[in-house]
Amino acid sequence: MQKWDAPKLTGSSSKSELFRRSIVLMEIAAEAKQKGEKIVIADKDRNPKIEIVI
């Protein structure tokens, strides 16, 4: 399982920075979908809690 650590968002993040990050996340999700993989949010024990579907 590949781990991707995004920089933390702060109150000073610009709208353009948030937009760029959202595009990157959508690209990652689309690539995973093409490979038959899923994007999930997991707890510290790696148990899937939320699946991100596009």
In three state form, how does the secondary structure of the chain look?
CCCCCCCCCCCCCCHHHHHHHHHHHHHHHHHHHHCCCCEEEECCCCCEEEEECC
Residue 25: which domain range?
A: 15-52
Q: How far is CA 6 from CA 25, 33, 36, in A?
A: 10, 20, 23
Q: How many structural domains compose the chain?
A: 1
CA distance linking residue 14 with residue 7, whole number of Å: 13
- The model's pTM is 0.60
pLDDT over 90 (residue 25): no
- Domain assignment present for residue 4? The answer is no
Mean pLDDT of 4-17: 69
- Domain assignment present for residue 8? The answer is no
pLDDT over 60 (residue 30): yes
Confidence of residue 29 (pLDDT cuts 50, 70, 90): confident
